[in-house]
Amino acid sequence: MARTETVEVPLGSRTYPVVIGNSMLCTLGKSVRRVTAGRLVGVVSDKTVWSLYGDQCSASLEAAGFHVVPKIIEPGEEHKTLHTVAGILDHFLAAGFDRESLVIGFGGGVAGDVAGFVAAICLRGLPFVQVPTTVVAQVDASVGGKTGVDHPLGKNLIGAFHQPSLVFVDTALLASLSERDLRAGLVEVLKHAVIRDPGLFDLLEASLDAFVAGTASADSWIDLVAANCRIKASVVGQDEKESGLRAILNYGHTAGHAIEKLGAYQRYRHGEAVGFGMMVAGQMACERGLWRSDELSRQRRILRRLLRIPPPTDMAPRNIWNAMKGDKKSLGGVLRFVMPRGIGDATVVSDVTEDEFAAAWAVTVNREEEPHVG
Ligand SMILES: NC(=O)c1ccc[n+]([C@@H]2O[C@H](COP(=O)([O-])OP(=O)(O)OC[C@H]3O[C@@H](n4cnc5c(N)ncnc54)[C@H](O)[C@@H]3O)[C@@H](O)[C@H]2O)c1
Ligand SMILES: [Zn+2]
């Protein structure tokens, strides 16, 4: 049997495993069978993922005695909407779903967030399994139970906490990912490293090129994903509903979500926007004397190696500020930024002014416009 790693997300009676391995899609059916006795399985996937892996996924589930009801959505963040959710609900209810039926999210963060939300609201809650197929989804989105869709006013404004019963991670599925999505996904790894894990930061600095070039071994991918899932599991285990600690996972996301929105969810990948958000939050942390400038520079160097896309110099800080204010994370109109205090340590700051943000934004985008070295 090939190597697998299991990370538990500790949530009392709702504790669930994240099983991580390589080339194990053929065992999905058996694993899902362990979490349900039902017969109907609704699979939410996107066209790209389903055309690559749909046959293998269905065959494995059918071999374990499931009747598979696929619902294939258009790829892309712009389809993470209530409209898409309504179409999936119509399809699953017409197929005769009952309380024993199970929903699988098979794809990137978009398919996973949408599938999880459908599972949360269909018949007041169905069991749910995540099968993440992008780096973002394997190291972050599939773990922790945040599900939902976007609203014209902002990202993830409609949603629910609904934990999966199992997260099934096959790192071999990443082989078909575009380089751009691979790079964007590694930004979430860097995020985890900066807020929580200096060892992961060192590993990324040393091995980034191998992960991007596709020369990293199966074992190193399993180790990388497991390290991230351990961080996420420990944070979520302590603060499932984000009343405190879990907020640190939003490092880079306050500005990142605004940048995604101003780019109409098409210009930047989620991870890219988060990367720019980490730059500006890190800059503010440095200006405040919370973070050492040499550590900010280390973050900058690694982000420059990751992001092969020009920064949003045309986005005015005022527009970003207003977009951030519309985000659900601005509690009572107060914006909260996660700021590093060291590599592996972060805190939440809620007294940033528009001027402070605008100054840090100007420094960040001007510097990123300089020619990239190395
Ligand atoms: N719930 C959470 O806690 C959480 C955490 C982080 C991110 N997210 C959400 O995740 C989303 C971003 O996730 P994403 O980057 O995975 O986006 P995505 O789901 O849009 O996937 C990116 C692209 O990769 C393609 N793709 C997926 N798997 C593939 C594969 N194996 N081979 C080839 N192509 C493949 C998809 O079709 C898509 O075009 C955002 O909506 C973000 O809000 C949620
Ligand atoms: Zn994210």
Scored b (16 or more CB within 10 A) or e, 268-307 reads bbbbbbbbbbbbbbbbbbbeeebbeeebbebbbebbbbbb
Q: What is the pLDDT of residue 374?
A: 41
Amino acid present at 301:
R
Question: What ligand 1 atom has the least distance to the C-alpha of 156?
Answer: 43
Distances (CA, A) of 249 to 200, 274, 337: 15, 11, 11
Ligand nearest to the Cα of 270, by number: 1
Every domain of the chain and the residues it spans: 4-176, 179-369
CATH class entry, domain 4-176: alpha beta
CATH class entry, domain 179-369: mainly alpha
pLDDT digits (tens, 9 = 90+) for 98-126: 999 999 999 999 999 999 999 999 999 99
Comparison of pLDDT for 116 and 327, the residue scoring more: 116
Residue nearest atom 34 of ligand 1, based on CA coordinates = 177
Residue nearest atom 20 of ligand 1, based on CA coordinates = 76
CA-based Rg of the chain, rounded to a whole angstrom?
A: 20
Instruction: Provide the residue count of the chain.
Output: 374
Which residues have CB under 6 Å of ligand 1?
Answer: 46, 48-49, 52, 75-77, 80, 107-111, 113, 133-134, 136-137, 140-141, 144, 146, 155-156, 173-174, 176-177, 181, 269-270
Give the residue-averaged pLDDT of 290-295. Answer: 98
Supply the mean pLDDT for the chain.
95
Look up the pTM and report it: 0.95
pLDDT digits (tens, 9 = 90+) for 224-268: 999 999 999 999 999 999 989 999 999 999 999 999 999 999 999
Ligand nearest to the Cα of 236, by number: 1
Angle subtended at Cα 178 by Cα 175 and Cα 180, rounded to the nearest 5 degrees = 130
